Structure formats: structure tokens, C-alpha cells
């Protein structure tokens, strides 16, 4: 997650309330017959790939990559 301002590109009304969504990868082995998990590795978070973090706008519920929100905030910065 980047320490930069967000601006929702969809509703263009929210710069404050967001939810970040992180995906995790985990290697598992399943039993082919009953579907039970036979073994599983440690979960790996995908946080190292820039732009992989997804953000949800809590105003309009739009979900997009973090970069979209950052680009929008850079294009239309908030003036104090
Ligand atoms: Zn929005």
C-alpha cells in the first residue's frame, strides 16, 4: 500500500473512506476423492507487486487497483 492520496475515479466524491483488499496465495494439496486438504504451505501475500493492491471506495463501492485511485488524486489534487 502506498502512502499517497486516493481519489475515487468512479464517483469523484470520495478521498477519505476506502477499504483495501489484499490477495493471498497459498499452495495446497487436495485429496482427489474427498476434497480434503492434505497439506498446505504458508500463505504468501501479494503485497510486493506494486499496483496489485485493490481498493474499494466506501462511498460508491467501486473496486479498482490502487494505482487508479492514486492517478486520479494526482490528476485532480485537493487544494487546501
Ligand atoms: Zn467512489
23 assigned to some structural domain: yes
Q: Kindly list the strands in the beta sheet with 63-65, ordered across the sheet, starting from the edge strand earlier in the chain.
A: 18-21, 54-57, 63-65
pLDDT of 15-59, one tens digit each?
A: 999 999 877 788 999 999 999 999 998 887 665 555 568 999 999
Domain contains 69: yes
Q: Does a structural domain hold residue 5?
A: no
Contact by Cβ (8 Å): 26, 32: no
Would residue 26 count as lying in a domain? yes
Residue 41's pLDDT is: 87
Provide the number of structural domains found in the chain: 1
Q: What's the 28 CA to ligand 1 centre distance in angstroms? A: 36
Distance 65 CA to ligand 1 centre (A): 13
Q: What is the pTM of this model?
A: 0.71
Does 1 fall in a domain?
no
What range does the domain containing 41 cover? 18-75
Spatial CA neighbour of 18 closest among 63, 52, 78: 63
pLDDT band at 8 (very low <50, low <70, confident <90, very high): very high
| pLDDT at residue 49, rounded to an integer | 52
For ligand 1, the distance from its centroid to the CA atom of residue 57, given in whole angstroms, is 5
Dihedral angle, C-alpha 69, 72, 76, 80, nearest 10 ° = 10
Position 12 scores a pLDDT of: 96
Amino acid at each position: 500500500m502506498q502512502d499517497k492520496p486516493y481519489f475515487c475515479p468512479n464517483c469523484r466524491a470520495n478521498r477519505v473512506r476506502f477499504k483495501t483488499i489484499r490477495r493471498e496465495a497459498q499452495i495446497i494439496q487436495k485429496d482427489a476423492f474427498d476434497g480434503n486438504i492434505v497439506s498446505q504451505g504458508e500463505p504468501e501475500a501479494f503485497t510486493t507487486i506494486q499496483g496489485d493492491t485493490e481498493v474499494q471506495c466506501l462511498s460508491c463501492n467501486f473496486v479498482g487497483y490502487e494505482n487508479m485511485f492514486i492517478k486520479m488524486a494526482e490528476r485532480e489534487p485537493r487544494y487546501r
